[in-house]
Amino acid sequence: MKKSRFWSFMLLLVMALFLAACNSDSSTTEKESEKDTSGDTSTTTEGSSAEGGVVTFGTDTAPEGVYDPAYSGSIVDSYIQGFTMEGIYDVNDKLEYVPNLATWEISEDKLTYTFTFQKGVKWHNGEELTVDDWVFALETLAHPDYDGPRFNYAEGIKGAKAKKEGKADKIEGIEVVDPYTVKITFEEVKINNLENLWSNPMPKKHYEGIAVKDLSESKQVRENPVGLGPFKVKKVVDGEYSELERFDDYWKGKPQLDGVIVKVIDPSLAAGAFQNGEIDIMAIKPQSVKELEALDNVRIEETNGVSYSYIGLRFGHRDKATLKNVADFDKFKSKELRQALLYAINRPAMIDAFLEGKATVANTVIPSTFWTAAKESDLNKYEYDPEKAKELLASAGYVDKDGDGFVEDPNGQPFKISFGHYAGNAAFEGRSQAIIQSWNDIGVKTELATGSLIEFNLYNDMKDNDDAALEAFFGSWSMGADPDPSGLWGNDAEWNFGRWVDAKNQELLNKGLSEEAFDKDKRMATYVEWQKHFNEELPGLPLWENLDLYGINNRLQGVHINAVGFQTDVYKWNIKE
């Protein structure tokens, strides 16, 4: 199909808009980029390396300044934690969980995991890591006064829910054997119990004397953090930069760099900052690629990943007292309406216009990086077809009865969608208008929620609180390393912002985690069936998978990029002479 005049205009508009700043999203779960794994993508260039020196990581968003992973929500804070913190396990290039701070053995009944910790691992304050630090973290997440967003990483442990509800003082399923050995027993057998278990110890002695209700705002979390990673926080200047220095007693070996600076950079100035050596590495937007490729001292790394963008649709609200999602909003009850909305969007044109072609159309919400992703031949591709969209609307009773060019609902009442999008770089305005125009073009009246793009943190609060203005909303989701889609699409998932509740959906998601799922072929079959169900029902509208893009100064060596990030073994980063 030929592009409409709208798209010709939009492409010209975008050429101008992209001269403006390009801000990135700032949430660990809501972000634009995605990543994939195809082996070792670390690069080296000729020249000798020398120990020492400081490199600068550029970010277009200031950190919130929350340095303990149990409390943070900002992607920039997570970048800093990637230099300063360590977890029980790591994720390799094949998206497999591998031992890091500890190894583990699984009981015959698959309910109990016995973890054995490395000896001699030091916190930045000189204290030795023991299992007590990890147990302290798990008990904190399950404490009734814990106000962070990570309880879901402890709730699978036997007795964790009882503690969270104030019915127990300790988590029943945790048994400390000795200072380096602990047993964790889960409520039920699931294929991803390990993947869903909180990985980061918390320095118990560092937090001694602080009530759980006060931890998130404490100086120990926000000003004087203690970690296990190769670098430690030295200085923070709010809104400008964080200075990290080498931790000589890092358990894997002395880091090669003297330090790392995480610096806030205006993205419109990124090319100049790279050219003059002001920054050494930065996650970049597609619109920056051509300008950076012209620089002799910069290389571009790109990889597919574990994230995707989609349009969420409102089906109900979250009962925060029961932690259940309640489907009580019927605007998108018609499957034909939902399908029509996707047929109406020219996704390839949007990818060209707003992502410089650095993305691929997605018809599933399990990215192609994962072995569980369904084949395209198994799915309806929903190729751009506005006439098909109009036919579906008419068949479902959405007809223009008053001649104003917009359909009424099957009951003859006016029908209008309030669509929300967060503020950010110049492309976001064009992207939101393209979606709105696509729906208006098929006769579905659509307006921008609140009349303008919404500040990012406020936008997330609005989704959390089921704001009536967000009937449909743009979102992006990063899955992590496990292919389980329950975090966003489970019937009662907190981040199921559309509040879609569907019996078959939950049945298949549960099956994909059950004991049967230990058979890889059976798990694959279950997830393919789930994707077919999602693809037919469309509780959300899949848009695309992005590429993760990084600009790296050639003087920085040892950077290893895979589907889950760029911070594998940062203690090996070095500067080439």
CA angle 326, 515, 308 (to 5 degrees): 55
The neighbouring-strand residues paired with 313 are 472
The pLDDT of residue 36 is 29
The pLDDT tens digits of the residues spanning 152-180 come to 899 999 999 999 999 999 999 999 999 99
Contact 101, 181 (CB under 8 A): no
Q: What is the pLDDT of residue 41?
A: 43
Burial grade of 325 (CB within 10 A; 0-12, 13-18, 19 or more): buried
Residue 280 DSSP one-character state: S
Residue 321 has pLDDT above 60, yes or no: yes
- Confirm if 313 and 511 have CB atoms less than 8 A apart: no
Cα–Cα distance, 333 to 3 (Å, whole number):
30
Count Cβ atoms below 10 Å from residue 33 Cβ, excluding itself.
25
Is pLDDT above 90 for 42?
no
Q: State phi, psi for 3 to the nearest 5 degrees.
A: -75, 145
Environment class of 435 (CB within 10 Å of its CB; exposed 0-12, middle 13-18, buried 19+): buried
Q: From CA 65, how far away is CA 76, in angstroms rounded?
A: 9
Instruction: Judge contact between 215 and 188, C-beta under 8 A.
Output: no
Q: Residues 351-364: pLDDT tens digits?
A: 999 998 999 999 99
User: Residue 390 carries which side chain, given as an amino acid letter?
Assistant: K
pLDDT of residue 479 exceeding 60: yes
pLDDT the model gives residue 390: 98
In the block, tokens 């998130």 appear at 216
The pLDDT, as a whole number, for residue 344 is 98
Q: What is the mean pLDDT of residues 403-411?
A: 97
Residue 57 backbone phi and psi in degrees, to 5: -95, 125
CA distances from 141 to 88, 92, 193 (A): 16, 26, 16
pLDDT at residue 239 in the model: 76
Residue 48 has a pLDDT of 54
Q: What is the mean pLDDT of residues 243-248?
A: 97
In DSSP terms, which residues pair with 446 in a beta bridge? 417
Tokens of 29: 């779960």
8 A C-beta contact, residue 531 and residue 379: yes
Per residue in 78-134, pLDDT (tens digit) is 999 999 999 999 999 888 899 999 999 999 999 999 999 999 999 999 999 999 999
Q: Per residue in 379-394, pLDDT tens?
A: 999 999 999 999 999 9
Tell how far CA 435 is from the center of its chain: 23
Q: Is the pLDDT of residue 19 over 80?
A: no
Q: Give the single-character DSSP code of 49.
A: E
Per-residue model confidence as pLDDT tens digits over 270-292: 899 999 999 999 998 888 888 99
Q: Predicted confidence band at 10 (pLDDT cuts at 50, 70, 90)?
A: very low
- Please state whether beta strands 540-546 and 359-361 pair in parallel, antiparallel, or not at all (unpaired): antiparallel
Classify burial at 21, counting beta carbons within 10 Å of its beta carbon; exposed 0-12, middle 13-18, buried 19 or more: middle
Q: Do residues 21 and 426 touch, judged by C-beta distance below 8 A?
A: yes
C-alpha 348, offset from chain centre: 23
Confidence of residue 194 (pLDDT cuts 50, 70, 90): very high
pLDDT at 421 over 70: yes
Q: CA 155 to CA 134: how far, in whole Å? A: 15
Q: For residue 359, report the phi and psi dihedrals to the nearest 5 degrees.
A: -170, 165
Q: In what order do the strands lie in the sheet with 281-283?
A: 231-237, 241-246, 259-264, 54-59, 281-283, 548-553, 298-303
- The answer to whether 490 and 509 have CB atoms below 8 angstroms apart is yes
For residue 408, what pLDDT band results from cuts at 50, 70 and 90? very high
The DSSP line for 193-248 is TTTTS------TTTTTT--HHHHTTSHHHHTS---SSSEEEEEEETTTEEEEEE-T
3-class SS of residue 153: helix
Tokens of 398: 């959405």
**What residues have CB less than 8 Å from 9, skipping those under 6 apart?**
none
The three-class DSSP label of residue 535 is helix
Residue 236 has pLDDT above 90, yes or no: no
Distance of CA 5 to the CA centre of its chain: 35
CA atoms within 13 A on the CB side of 88: 27
Which whole-number Å values give the CA distances from 441 to 302, 343, 390, 425, 432, in the listed order? 35, 12, 10, 25, 14
How far apart, in whole angstroms, are the C-alpha atoms of residue 236 and residue 239? 9
Q: In this predicted structure, what is the pLDDT of residue 47?
A: 52
Q: Is the pLDDT of residue 26 over 70?
A: no
pLDDT at 49: 60
**DSSP state, residue 152:** G
Bridge partner list, 49? 576
In this predicted structure, the answer to whether residue 262 has a pLDDT above a threshold of 70 is yes
* Angle at alpha carbon of residue 431, lines to 427 and 437, rounded to 5°: 145
How many Å apart are CA 72 and CA 159, to the nearest integer?
Answer: 25
Neighbours of 360 (CB within 10 A): 18
pTM of the model: 0.78
**237 strand-pairing partners:** 241
Backbone angles phi, psi at 521, to 5 degrees: -65, -40
